[in-house]
Structure 1
Amino acid sequence: MNPVFVIGHRNPDTDSICSAICYAELKHRLTGEPYIPCRAGHVNTETKFVLERFGVKAPRYIKSFEPCLSDVQYRRIPGIDEEMSLHRAWNYMNENDIQTLAVVDEDRHLKGLLTLSDIARFYMEDKDANALAEAGTSYRNLVDVLDGTLIVGDIEKRFEQGSVVVAAANPDVLEDYIGPHDMVILGNRYESQLCAIEMNAGCIIIGLGAKVSRTIRKLASENQVSIIATPLTTYSCAKVVSQAVPVRHVMRRRGLITFEPDDVVEDVKRAVSKKRMRYYPLLDEQGRYIGMFSQRNLLDLERPSVILVDHNERDQAADGIRSTNIIEIIDHHRIDSVETSGPIYFRNQPLGCTATIITGMYHEHNVPIEPKIAGLLCSAILSDTLMFRSPTCTPLDRAAAEELAQIAGLDIREYATEMFRSSSCLRDRSMDELFHMDFKYFQIQNKKIAISQITSVSENELNGIRDKMLDYMEDYLKTSGLSMQFVMLTDIIEEKTELLYVGRGAKNLVHTAFRKECGEHSVVLPGVVSRKKQMVTPLLSAMEEEGTM
């Protein structure tokens, strides 16, 4: 079975990360199948503290579910050397049932491509008798193709001058056809062999398995004429000798289309849709050849199975979520726009934290909760409910956290304070990091807004970043494509939020949502600590109200 990915929303918080880890563990223990916890963003400081506290690695980071070529079942066919003969390349293609070969150097860098069509074109086109010399064909290739033996000469040398001549006539006539450096194909006639040597041929090929006399060997050596003896007939020699040509002489060098494992499959499909080639080389980041894939491989790609936790909104999901097969959703937020291809298991409960739901599922299936898992689930509940201060917190959340704390050996107040302080030291971080630390998009009609929340146990710390954050928000708004931006500076101890806002109409929207006199870019909201219940609902309701006016 292929693995199932369990993943939370973008800009993940502690609940999103811990719920993914704990639910993946529960599913694995119930089924024995692989369930992989993942994350769609970077781990924030608070979550990092939690993971380190319980000795758990951060989940796998998935930038996008959009399938890449690394997900394609490509063929790991080794590349070939450019000196390989067409004969060997043809056999290699047949053995591996492939129509395209990559020609590479010793470091696997691509030098060209060889296709069956290239080989067929070479044979079918009217090649003159000089083709072997033009290609600089090695004697090693010639011996291999002819299934012969080099009787005289150096096998490392190349045939680089002359034409191929078939010595079918008597010696008197041959004198008019054989030129210096030519390759002469002949039989066992001593006179013809002697004539070829006297005419300064470059190489003579003696067929029919005929023995080569000592005299011919000596004369050939003295005149620097190579001799290849072969069991083939003269006809067969003439037929196959051109197969000794090295692939570099035939391969395609220009206009090569190559791809890398990170290339998105949809982009690749568009790039090759109007091309006639069936196979394409895959190269790594250093340009080294990896393997070959076909257009059919792009069509046979299987969609990954995914379980969403702590969200059900397409805008909050990892990129490429439409390319996946969503099989489950476990969430405690409003139901939004994620679409599935068929019925799925969807569990949505009005609780303060997804981890509370997952804790209940452990109990429902009678699966014991280990201390490490208990610590993660408890941390998620304390984080999402702001240690039970959030209005989203329910008695079930509190009861679950207290039970989990006992299993994990935690003192709730002491541990929660330590956890919240771990994400403090706000002045040491950039405004961009703080703004995106806990950040979500929301859309009503044609307006898209973003709400970020920054929490602290120190009011002075929040006041210290206020003005810098407003300046950052003004700059970010210009390029973000958003209508408005909001940042909640939430004091956990005092249970209040100073809401910062920028964007045309933001001040009026906040006034409509909370019925309070607002400053130019901020308002203090006592008792407001929950984005989900106390911020999102009033703002989106006010946007809908404005949209109907």
Structure 2
Amino acid sequence: MPAANVWRKVNVIGHVNPDTDSICSAIAYAYLKNQASEMACEPRRAGQLNRETEFVLKHFDVEPPRLCTDVSPQIKDIDIRRQPGIDRELSVKAAWSMMRDTEIDTLCVTDAEDELLGLITVKDIANANMDLMDTGVLADAHTSYRNVLATLDGEMVVGDPDAEVGGNIYIGGSPDVMEEQLKPGDLVLVSNRYDTQLCAIECDAGCIVICNGKAAPRTIETLAREKGCSIIITPYDIYAAARLVSQSAPVRHFMRVKDLLKFSVDTPIEDARRVMASVRHRYFPILDKNGKYCGVVSRRNLLNLHRKQIILVDHNEKTQAVDGLAQAEILEIIDHHRIGTLETTAPVYFRNVPVGCTATIVFQMYLENEVDIPKKIAGLLLSAILSDTLMFRSPTSTPQDEQAANALARIAGEDIQSYAEQMFEAGGDLTGKTAEEVFVSDFKVFSRGDVKFGVGQSSYMTEKSRSAAEALVGPYLPEAAGHHALPMVFYMFTDVQKQSTDLMFTGHDAEKIVRAAFHVEPENGKAVLPGVVSRKKQLIPPLMAAMQELTM
């Protein structure tokens, strides 16, 4: 069973609908933190990879980060009680003793592979003990004599401990009465009276339990062997033995197996709370990622919550972040965009630098921490810079970006011009792509006051590729606006070589805003913007200024 305390990893994650910078910076920064700090960091992605990023990861033989779309707390983020599972053959008495000793009222029944078979509660045991008239419980439950021995602290002097009890429980008394009532195979509790023991054996009892620790006479032992009757000696008197013996039945006879309320380690805490509030159970089984039993959880455990620890890269706006961020603990933010709407509950390390790419900042941090950059990591950082700066053509590109790219290209062994053309060409390939897949490949949501709007961007090396993308995605924009519940959506189709953008849009007042922002006359839902290639620096600020002006 897993250890109680596991070193929790910090998720390094970019924005939803991740671009190459978002993915590559997450991978590179997680590697840096693992080398330069005591943190255990893991890169994650908040959405599907676009084709450009797929090309980059394949080119440098790097596995894509695992998907993470929600960082809300889950069962695995609380202290699960690592209560061991019990064997289905364990006696009811042993189960109750375990409950008493460990101060728990629910035990989970598992097999040797930790598969959950059922559970038994103290209420189930109480109900079993209260059914005093069920004298056939041991036979019905196919109880082994080994359980009877353990329950009665007994010693078997005749018989096979692994054999099963075959009849009812009977308290031996007058031989006359026994001859009338005793049935073959019954388990008979007797005193040290010779005539009672003899009568029970001659009436074909399956087992006699001699109470008060008295030894059986040799003649009784001999006769018992001849008749196939087992003999058990217990130190308890008949009253105590009678009360205890039915507790020899295995827990499988009483355990609950249908409609078990159980949770996975990945179950959201809020879902677990709703279920727990609807029932009166106290403890609930937990299954690990492989569906194996790993412990139990109670309402009290939900109070001791360990929020997921997050490092954000390439974004600092709530609208661009994974779901559940408000319930996570943000440790750091590494970004190169405007400071947005994100709030934190405590001070964090926030590094925001006006460069063209987050990867440039990460490269600088490698140098500051004197950590060697592996060839693969250098290739990822180089790719991110070339992508975000459009190979230094974007107005957001700075000398720092170009210097970093040149240094990284030497480490990665890549020619910038040749590699960039391959990367952009791969990103512009629309073969087999749907309009939605192209649309979400690099799409972000922004807000200005009470107004929310979305802006997407795709970059292409040729006029032919850009025109094909416009024909595919343009008609989809109204549907995309509805799907994302946005009043306006703008989409940039950027020609890297010509450094020009065709801006397509949809929504009420969208055309009026474009006209005011760029002083152009749109036609058929499209505006041609020569020299505009940067969403961050050349598109978002004019759009927001126009929105503010038109709403005043």
Question: TM-score scaled by structure 1?
Answer: 0.89
- Per-residue displacement from partner, 1:294-348 (whole Å, max 9, x unpaired)? 3333322312322211110111112221122112212111111111112222222
Letter in 2 for 1:277: H
Match for residue 88 of structure 1? 94
Match of 1:276 among 277, 280, 292: 280
Match for residue 50 of structure 2? 44
Match for residue 148 of structure 2? 142
Write the mapping of 1:240-251 to structure 2, written as runs, cut at 5 A.
240-251=244-255
Cα separation, partners in 2 of 1:106 and 1:399, compared to 1, 3 Å: closer
Q: Offset of 1:113 from its aligned partner?
A: 1.4
Q: Which 4+ residue blocks in structure 1 deviate beyond 6 angstroms?
A: none
Q: Offset of 1:188 from its aligned partner?
A: 2.1
Q: Does 1:521 align with 2:525?
A: yes
Write the mapping of 1:120-131 to structure 2, written as runs, cut at 5 A.
120-123=126-129, 129-131=135-137
SS at match of 2:528: strand
CA contact (8 A) 2:89 2:252 kept: yes
After superposing the two structures, state which structure 1 stretch, 353-362 or 385-394, moved more.
353-362
Match of 1:429 among 417, 426, 433: 433
Q: Does 1:317 align with 2:321?
A: yes
Letter in 2 for 1:262: D
Cα separation, partners in 2 of 1:30 and 1:179, compared to 1, 3 Å: closer
> Within 2, Cα distance between the matches of 1:182 and 1:293?
42
CA contact (8 A) 1:39 1:61 kept: yes
Q: Offset of 1:133 from its aligned partner?
A: 4.8
Match for residue 515 of structure 2? 511
Cα separation, partners in 2 of 1:200 and 1:403, compared to 1, 3 Å: closer
CA contact (8 A) 2:137 2:168 kept: no
Match for residue 59 of structure 2? 53
> Within 2, Cα distance between the matches of 1:407 and 1:107?
48
> Within 2, Cα distance between the matches of 1:172 and 1:516?
114
Match for residue 335 of structure 1? 339
Match for residue 119 of structure 1? 125
> Within 1, Cα distance between the matches of 2:41 and 2:183?
74
CA contact (8 A) 1:282 1:291 kept: yes
Q: Offset of 1:542 from its aligned partner?
A: 2.5
Q: Offset of 1:396 from its aligned partner?
A: 2.6
Match for residue 549 of structure 2? 545
Letter in 2 for 1:42: Q
Cα separation, partners in 2 of 1:402 and 1:472, compared to 1, 3 Å: same
Q: CA RMSD for the aligned pairs?
A: 3.0
> Within 2, Cα distance between the matches of 1:181 and 1:333?
83
> Within 1, Cα distance between the matches of 2:405 and 2:183?
96
CA contact (8 A) 1:483 1:504 kept: yes
Match for residue 486 of structure 2? 482
Match for residue 411 of structure 1? 415
> Within 2, Cα distance between the matches of 1:340 and 1:534?
29
SS at match of 1:426: coil
Q: Offset of 1:206 from its aligned partner?
A: 1.6
CA contact (8 A) 1:75 1:291 kept: yes
Match for residue 17 of structure 1? 23
Q: Which runs of 5+ in 2 are unaligned?
A: 1-6
Match for residue 227 of structure 1? 231
> Within 2, Cα distance between the matches of 1:64 and 1:242?
51
Q: Offset of 1:272 from its aligned partner?
A: 0.8
> Within 1, Cα distance between the matches of 2:495 and 2:46?
27
Write the mapping of 1:357-396 to structure 2, written as runs, cut at 5 A.
357-396=361-400
Match of 1:8 among 6, 14, 18: 14
- Per-residue displacement from partner, 1:424-462 (whole Å, max 9, x unpaired)? 222442222211111111233444322111111011112
Q: Number of paired residues?
A: 546
Q: Does 1:301 align with 2:305?
A: yes
CA contact (8 A) 1:208 1:233 kept: yes
Match for residue 450 of structure 1? 454
Match for residue 348 of structure 1? 352
Q: Offset of 1:474 from its aligned partner?
A: 3.4
SS at match of 2:214: coil
Question: TM-score scaled by structure 2?
Answer: 0.88
Letter in 1 for 2:153: D
SS at match of 2:17: coil
